[in-house]
Amino acid sequence: MRAHIVNFHVPAADVYRALFKFGVFNAVQSTCYDKVTPTGSGKTALFELAIIRMLMESSNSGRQSKCIYVAPTKALCSEKHRDWTIKFQALGVNCCELTGDTVQFGRSAWGEAKNAAIIVTTGEKWDSLTRNWEEHQQILSQITLFLIDEIHILNETRGSTLEVVVSRMKLRGTSVRFVAVSATVPNVQDVAAWLGNERNGGSAVIMEFGEEYRPCKIVRHVVPVLKKRDQNDFQFQRILDYKLYGVLQQYSQDKPVLIFCATRKGNLMMTYVGVVASAEQLMKEYGQSLNKRDRLPWTKPGGFTTNFSASWLAICGIGIHHAGLTWDDRRAMEDLFLKKVLRVIVATSTLAVGVNLPAHTVIIKGVKIFATDGWQEYSDLDIMQMMGRAGRPQFDKEGVAIIMCETELEAKYQALVQGRTFLESCLHNNLAEHINSEIGLGTITNINSAKEWLHSSFLFQRIQQNPRHYAIGKEGNQTWQERIDNMVTESIERLRENQLVELSNDDSSILKSTEYGDIMSKYYIRQSTVRLMRFSSTYLALHCSLISRFGPARNRFIYGKLKAHDEIRFKMKKVEKALDKISLIIQAVLAGLSLNDGEYKNGDNQPSLEAVTIWRHVSRIARAMVEVAIARQCGAQVKHGMELIELLNRRPTFGHEVLAFVKSLPEYYIQVEEVGTTLSDGASPVEIELSVTVGVNEDTGVDSGKFKKGKAKLRDSTTILSLNSELDFIDFRRISTKMLKPPKTFTITAHLTKPSQSVIVQIASETIAGVAVTYTYKPKLAYRAYPTMITRPQTTLERDLEGIEDDAAFWEAMKDWPSDDEEVVKKDLTRKWTAICVHRILMLSSNTFVFQRSFSTEQAQYNLEASFKPKSERGPERRD
């Protein structure tokens, strides 16, 4: 193995050495070194090598370059963004993330990307961002590197989006280099031919690495389990629970085990119940083996002191991990697993892309997930991610991955784990829709450019190799290229028949989108749906567009009970077809019925989950329907469609939520009582002590907890401000709003100098306008209780001397203060001259006058007055 290792020393790339936390490259990295120079650790470092090469070439050429990294999931995008931001930011290279969770629509979506050299995104988001290529030509022309992670998602339904995106970059990009990584597939040559490389004879460079390159080899097994005809998939999950302990006895080797259970989208509680049920079954059988002294698949742990909610399972060395646990419980579970106290973790399949817990053995208990529209198999990517958790390079030489599935699926998963599953294209399933989008973008301008676009697709590569998979035949001597060209022509003709595209008036060979074509592209709806909207009524079009996503009502008993409910407004005789089911579910939701009640659940039939799917699509389809009606200038359909949108966006609980929200707003009250009054017969301000009581009304729901934490925080702070009527400060307090139940009482002291003054107390929310309450208190006192105001005008001397006693510089200048036996009396010099003696006065003003000897009060007054008069107006100086 040592022969594969290469020291990382490229003088021009030394600045990037800190990106790698190791001194030498392993076998995979060393093999790729010359192609993606320089390289790093695993596939992530292979991408980093390509990025470094791009940055070096950009530095040498002086041309600004950008790299696009495309991952199949937003979670993986976030992980890569965090990692590369830390690594590259120190080198002055910016990295940004563009996914559905991070960007806005329009030009603002590109704000951060303009200054970023690395852009992390998903295929779907990049598809939407590049649909207006011309508007963002300046940024897109800078892309020279396109990284594709987990390219084997081409085999999935969403793979067509990735295929379209890559084809778009190949046709419209400028010298874009593609680097892709994939799980082991037998037809990797087809992927290489599709990605293409003009400098290498039209095919990309292929580098294949087998199990011998893994630092920890993975041994894979498929365990088939018989599923009876009368069993539904929920029941089969329980059968797998009973088989699980036997599988562990056979493969676990007393080493850490991760068991992945199926998640149930839209029903988290059922997911948690499924995880706990599997763990409890393991605990039960482990206890039985312990009593019988049978061979144990893992060693029972000793005592531990950690307290958490699943400690009753931990006694047998079993833990659980799902999103329903608190953060502390999850952290405790992970720590105990790492310390080998817990030997088995039963988790949801979402853990495969979450916390990294090293395990020797991974068991995938069932290959299906319950989604909103029924049971469906995991994607190949999900299976590969879960199996990839097996093996701990730092502890083991090999890991074990086990898939438990139905007997009829054994051959499929044997082919998957052995790398014998061919990648196929899914583009043909919605070819017309993608052609319509490319016409709208301007990528396709005529039939010839449409053919050129399809020739750049993965579909073109695979349809020649495996035509049976795509169920299209060719006639006689017709070549595959001619057959594919016919597919393009047929798709465009169907688009023209449905008035989605048309020929330009200026040039009959130029294709352009119609209003209907733009609507189909914008709202991601099918060609058949647009046709229904153009020729059917509003409600029929809405229902029919949803039918293709749902099967018929399989459990008539449940839907029979639902249709008989008093709140169902439009009655129906039978609920058999998908249209009937959709109509009934929409009515039930609008009527506010709880579809989560046990009476509406039975095995695989879960109306509540189907309602989630319906509402995810129905609003988008309704909006598209209104746009089509506007294009048709059909007033009735526009009116009815807008009414429908309004109803769908305000389905029941909306009105209750509004009322509850209003009720949750704080309704304050203030009570003020006089405690005492201190009078000084006009010598000083009136001192009034007040008792203030503040609170919120009892029926205010500020502590109801019905709203999200983010909203609750907005109402959490309340302020109480006290001022007098001339806005002089008296008191200020801040308190949590929920602490005002029960009310709080405190005292304030106000000093009033005028009979006209009053005390104002205001209580208000810090964030919500319009809920403030103000109380004004006016004391009932005689006028003579207040200080008498001086109303005579000030003399010039009084104005000049005003504030002198508060001047620090004045008192600092009084250096030669009289001795202790001299009597010094300081009085207000602006009023009565009653000082017996002043030793020295230094007036720091524009007119400086200094008394350097003792003199009487009258003399001081005379000299002070004289000093502020012009010399011509002064009398004779007195020197007595």
**Whether 844 and 704 share a structural domain:** no
203 found inside a domain: yes
Q: Does the pLDDT value for residue 170 go beyond 50? A: yes
Residue 233 one-letter amino acid? D
Q: Which residues contact 835 (CB under 8 A, 6 or more apart)?
A: 824, 825, 826, 827, 857, 860
CATH number at residue 773: 2.60.40.150
| Residue 323: C-alpha distances to residues 271, 349, 635, 858 (Å) | 9, 11, 49, 90
User: In whole angstroms, what is the distance from residue 86 CA to residue 79 CA?
Assistant: 11
- pLDDT tens digit sequence for 246-305: 999 998 888 899 999 876 554 444 556 678 888 889 999 999 998 888 888 888 887 665
Q: How many CB atoms lie within 10 A of CB 749?
A: 14
657 found inside a domain: no
Alpha helix (H) residue ranges in 62-196: 74-89, 123-129, 137-140, 159-172, 188-195
35 found inside a domain: yes
User: In whole angstroms, what is the distance from residue 19 CA to residue 95 CA?
Assistant: 14
Q: Does the pLDDT value for residue 796 go beyond 90? A: no
- pLDDT at residue 137, rounded to an integer: 83
790 found inside a domain: no
What are 773's strand-pairing partners? Answer: 763
Average pLDDT of span 456-465: 86
407 pLDDT band, cuts 50/70/90, is very high
**Whether 44 and 170 share a structural domain:** yes
User: In whole angstroms, what is the distance from residue 56 CA to residue 179 CA?
Assistant: 17
CA 129 to chain centroid = 19
**Whether 56 and 72 share a structural domain:** yes
Residue, of 640 and 326, whose pLDDT is higher: 640
**Whether 21 and 98 share a structural domain:** yes
Closest CA to 438 of 164, 175, 196: 164
CATH number at residue 625: 1.10.3380.10
Phi, psi torsion values for 56, nearest 5 degrees:
-65, -45
**Are 193 and 461 a contacting pair, CB within 8 Å?**
yes
850 pLDDT band, cuts 50/70/90, is very low
- pLDDT at residue 851, rounded to an integer: 41
**Whether 459 and 352 share a structural domain:** no
**Whether 189 and 88 share a structural domain:** yes
User: In whole angstroms, what is the distance from residue 408 CA to residue 396 CA?
Assistant: 33
Query: Following DSSP, what letter does each residue of 561-573 receive, concatenated?
Result: HHHTSTT-SS--S
**Nearest-5° angle of CA 828, CA 831, CA 834?**
70
- Of 730, 761, 785, the position where a domain reaches its end is 785
Which residue's entry shows tokens 């005492």?
676
714 found inside a domain: yes
User: In whole angstroms, what is the distance from residue 99 CA to residue 85 CA?
Assistant: 16
Q: The sheet that has 668-678: what strands, in order across it?
A: 668-678, 686-696, 744-752
Closest CA to 257 of 356, 346, 152: 346
User: In whole angstroms, what is the distance from residue 648 CA to residue 621 CA?
Assistant: 11
User: In whole angstroms, what is the distance from residue 682 CA to residue 782 CA?
Assistant: 11
Residue 652, preceding peptide bond in cis (omega within 30° of 0): no
pLDDT winner (highest mean) among 141-145, 183-187, 534-538: 141-145
669 found inside a domain: yes
**Whether 736 and 841 share a structural domain:** no
Alpha helix (H) residue ranges in 551-671: 556-563, 578-590, 607-632, 635-649, 654-664
Q: Does the pLDDT value for residue 582 go beyond 50? A: yes
User: In whole angstroms, what is the distance from residue 81 CA to residue 69 CA?
Assistant: 10
- pLDDT at residue 563, rounded to an integer: 82
Closest CA to 457 of 161, 876, 684, 737: 161
Average pLDDT of span 804-828: 60
Q: Does the pLDDT value for residue 438 go beyond 60? A: yes
Q: Does the pLDDT value for residue 447 go beyond 50? A: yes
Q: Does the pLDDT value for residue 160 go beyond 50? A: yes
High-pLDDT (> 90) share of the chain, %: 19
878 found inside a domain: no
- pLDDT tens digit sequence for 645-674: 887 776 666 677 777 788 888 899 999 999
- pLDDT at residue 673, rounded to an integer: 94
User: In whole angstroms, what is the distance from residue 526 CA to residue 544 CA?
Assistant: 12
**Are 160 and 426 a contacting pair, CB within 8 Å?**
yes
Q: Does the pLDDT value for residue 156 go beyond 70? A: yes
CATH number at residue 463: 1.10.10.10
The three-state secondary structure class of 182 is coil
**Whether 225 and 325 share a structural domain:** yes
**Are 415 and 155 a contacting pair, CB within 8 Å?**
no
Q: Show the domain range for 766.
A: 664-785
Q: How many CA atoms lie within 13 A of 81 on its CB side?
A: 21
What are 722's strand-pairing partners? Answer: 731, 761
- pLDDT tens digit sequence for 218-229: 889 999 999 988
Q: Does the pLDDT value for residue 105 go beyond 70? A: no
User: In whole angstroms, what is the distance from residue 96 CA to residue 118 CA?
Assistant: 6
For strands 729-736 and 717-724, give the pairing: antiparallel
**Are 317 and 299 a contacting pair, CB within 8 Å?**
yes
- pLDDT at residue 21, rounded to an integer: 52
- pLDDT mean across residues, the chain: 77
**Are 724 and 712 a contacting pair, CB within 8 Å?**
no
- pLDDT at residue 268, rounded to an integer: 47
Q: Does the pLDDT value for residue 436 go beyond 70? A: yes
Phi, psi torsion values for 196, nearest 5 degrees:
70, 155
- pLDDT tens digit sequence for 56-79: 888 888 888 999 999 988 878 888
**Whether 644 and 668 share a structural domain:** no
Average pLDDT of span 85-89: 89
- pLDDT at residue 858, rounded to an integer: 47
The three-state secondary structure class of 603 is coil
User: In whole angstroms, what is the distance from residue 400 CA to residue 384 CA?
Assistant: 13
E strand spans, 267-391 = 318-321, 344-348, 361-365, 368-371, 374-377
pLDDT winner (highest mean) among 602-611, 612-621, 773-782: 773-782
Based on its alpha-carbon atoms, the radius of gyration of the chain, rounded to whole angstroms, reads 41
**Whether 338 and 453 share a structural domain:** no
High-pLDDT (> 70) share of the chain, %: 74
Which residue's entry shows tokens 């994939």?
182
User: In whole angstroms, what is the distance from residue 869 CA to residue 464 CA?
Assistant: 113
What are 513's strand-pairing partners? Answer: 501
Residue, of 306 and 35, whose pLDDT is higher: 306
Q: Does the pLDDT value for residue 853 go beyond 70? A: no
**Are 195 and 182 a contacting pair, CB within 8 Å?**
no
Average pLDDT of span 185-191: 85
Residue 305 one-letter amino acid? T
- pLDDT tens digit sequence for 478-517: 777 788 888 899 999 999 988 999 988 777 778 999 999 9
Phi, psi torsion values for 734, nearest 5 degrees:
-130, 140
E strand spans, 329-445 = 344-348, 361-365, 368-371, 374-377, 398-406
- pLDDT at residue 875, rounded to an integer: 52
- pLDDT at residue 567, rounded to an integer: 81
587 pLDDT band, cuts 50/70/90, is confident
Q: How many CB atoms lie within 10 A of CB 439?
A: 28
- Of 652, 680, 709, the position where a domain reaches its end is 652
631 found inside a domain: yes
Q: Does the pLDDT value for residue 22 go beyond 60? A: no
Average pLDDT of span 816-842: 46
Q: Does the pLDDT value for residue 477 go beyond 90? A: no
826 pLDDT band, cuts 50/70/90, is very low
* Angle between the N-to-C axes of helices 635-649 and 538-547, in degrees from 0 to 180, rounded to the nearest 10: 60
**Whether 192 and 335 share a structural domain:** no
**Are 529 and 545 a contacting pair, CB within 8 Å?**
yes
How many structural domains are present in the chain?
A: 6
**Whether 448 and 516 share a structural domain:** yes
Question: At 669, which helix (H) or strand (E)?
Answer: strand 668-678
Alpha helix (H) residue ranges in 426-510: 431-441, 447-455, 458-465, 467-470, 480-497
Closest CA to 437 of 542, 563, 561, 527: 527
User: In whole angstroms, what is the distance from residue 721 CA to residue 714 CA?
Assistant: 19
- pLDDT at residue 266, rounded to an integer: 42
Q: The sheet that has 773-777: what strands, in order across it?
A: 729-736, 717-724, 759-765, 773-777
852 pLDDT band, cuts 50/70/90, is very low
- Of 193, 211, 229, the position where a domain reaches its end is 211
